[in-house]
């Protein structure tokens, strides 16, 4: 049977796993080798994801008795997301994290997380990410040379630009907006009348500064940590797409590990995910308040959000066919269950 992180996680749940480790430190020490692993991503080290990555590194060191060290490479210093993804798949990089929209280039089913206005709040996104849908998709990454260790939180995306506030759908007309290089993002902004420009994250600040593009969309934590307020005047809280950030590990690294080492990695990933989400939630409210000091910030009325949702419905319908009816039915059933339980 194929060994996946979710199977390992289930196998060690409860006191039995903890007791086993506590009672057999010598045996565990023999199973854990000295390792120097690399974790690279495009966001800033002080962003919640960067803080989560550091928490993960600290937990791995703690749980391995200092034998396994994870070095953090933030701000795309080892390359942009496409380069990091290729390196992890090839085994020259051990960990990375990137938006589900980018991972859809490997497995198009991950597009489901990027459907406009799919989730009403972060709690719904977490529940779907941690439940059968997320587990099934993460486990399926093994055939692409990847091990999925959970879906971290980037948050709901909002729009910034240098031209005008976006209060209505019409305000998007003609704006050149950087988008993730994923078909659903390109189609969504085209449908809304903007001119989408696919671009890696590391290029965005320079393109905004030079006026090669008018704006971009990202969660407020990213907007703040990337210092986009220096080159953007307007922030519109559209909350149009929720973005999860899968933590990805090289299957080559994973396959070379003992059961004890894999246990350390999966436990640390689960604990770091919970901490990263807490930081992300707290940071979002703080970031909005902070950005009001340097940007013109506007909310979008519920009526206008409903108009935006209606306008992008054809995009949702199109990509629902691509991810497949079984997955869409599973996601919709899970969301219906969560909403009925309130």
- Both 66 and 170 in one domain: the answer is no
- Both 186 and 273 in one domain: the answer is no
- Both 113 and 125 in one domain: the answer is yes
**Residue 16's CB: how many other CB atoms inside 10 A?**
10
| DSSP, residue by residue, 47-68 | SHHHHHHHHHHHHHHHHTTT-E
Rg, the chain, Cα only? 20
- Both 148 and 266 in one domain: the answer is yes
- Both 34 and 140 in one domain: the answer is yes
pTM (2 decimals)?
A: 0.84
- The residue range of the domain holding 311 is 158-241+286-340
Report how many domains make up the chain.
2
Q: Which residue has the tokens 């992008």?
A: 312
Answer whether 305's CB lies under 8 Å from 88's CB: no
- The enclosing domain of 51 has a CATH number of 3.40.190.170
Q: Which residue has the tokens 């196998």?
A: 11
Answer whether 80's CB lies under 8 Å from 202's CB: yes
- Both 105 and 22 in one domain: the answer is yes
- Both 223 and 112 in one domain: the answer is no
Identify any residues that bridge with 176 across adjacent strands, giving them in sequence order.
Answer: 195
In Å, what is the CA distance from 161 to each residue of 4, 40, 59, 293, 317? 42, 28, 39, 16, 28
- Both 43 and 131 in one domain: the answer is yes
- Both 192 and 50 in one domain: the answer is no
Answer whether 50's CB lies under 8 Å from 43's CB: yes
- Both 234 and 256 in one domain: the answer is no
- Domain termination residue (choose one: 256, 282, 308): 282
pLDDT per residue of the chain (342 residues) written in tens, 0 to 9: 555 666 555 555 444 444 444 444 555 567 899 999 999 999 989 999 999 999 999 999 999 999 999 999 999 999 999 999 999 999 999 999 999 988 988 999 999 998 999 998 999 999 999 999 999 999 999 999 999 999 999 999 999 999 999 999 999 999 999 998 888 999 999 999 999 999 999 899 999 999 999 999 999 989 998 999 999 999 999 999 999 999 999 999 999 999 999 999 999 999 999 999 999 999 898 999 999 999 999 999 999 999 999 999 999 999 999 999 999 999 999 999 999 987
- Both 137 and 149 in one domain: the answer is yes
- Both 206 and 57 in one domain: the answer is no
């Amino acid at each position: 049977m194929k060994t996946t992180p979710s199977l390992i996680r289930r196998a060690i749940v409860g006191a039995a796993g903890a007791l086993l480790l506590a009672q057999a430190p010598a045996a565990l020490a023999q199973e854990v080798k000295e390792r120097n692993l690399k974790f690279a991503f495009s966001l800033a080290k002080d962003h919640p994801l960067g803080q989560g990555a550091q928490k993960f590194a600290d937990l791995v060191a703690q749980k391995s008795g200092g034998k396994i060290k994870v070095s953090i490479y933030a701000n795309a210093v080892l390359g942009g997301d496409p380069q990091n993804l290729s390196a992890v798949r090839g085994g020259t990089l051990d960990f990375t994290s990137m938006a589900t929209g980018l991972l859809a280039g490997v497995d198009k089913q991950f597009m489901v997380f990027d459907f406009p206005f799919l989730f009403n709040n972060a709690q719904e996104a977490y529940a779907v990410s941690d439940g059968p849908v997320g587990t099934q998709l993460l486990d399926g990454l093994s055939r692409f040379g990847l091990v999925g260790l959970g879906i971290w939180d980037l948050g709901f995306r909002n729009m910034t630009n240098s031209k005008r506030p976006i209060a209505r759908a019409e305000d998007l007309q003609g704006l050149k907006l950087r988008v993730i290089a994923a078909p659903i993002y390109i189609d969504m902004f085209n449908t809304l009348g903007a001119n989408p420009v696919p671009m890696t994250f590391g290029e965005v600040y320079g393109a905004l500064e030079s006026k090669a593009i008018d704006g971009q969309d990202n969660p407020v934590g990213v907007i703040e940590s990337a210092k986009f307020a220096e080159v953007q005047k307007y922030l519109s809280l559209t909350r149009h797409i929720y973005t999860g950030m899968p933590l990805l590990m090289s299957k080559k690294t994973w396959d070379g590990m003992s059961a004890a080492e894999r246990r350390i990695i999966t436990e640390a990933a689960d604990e770091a995910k919970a901490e990263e989400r807490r930081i992300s939630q707290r940071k979002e409210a703080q970031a909005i308040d902070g950005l009001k000091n340097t940007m013109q910030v506007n909310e979008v009325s519920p009526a206008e959000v409903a108009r935006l949702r209606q306008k992008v419905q054809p995009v949702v319908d199109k990509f629902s066919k691509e991810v497949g009816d079984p997955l869409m039915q599973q996601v919709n059933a899970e969301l219906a269950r969560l909403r009925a339980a309130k």
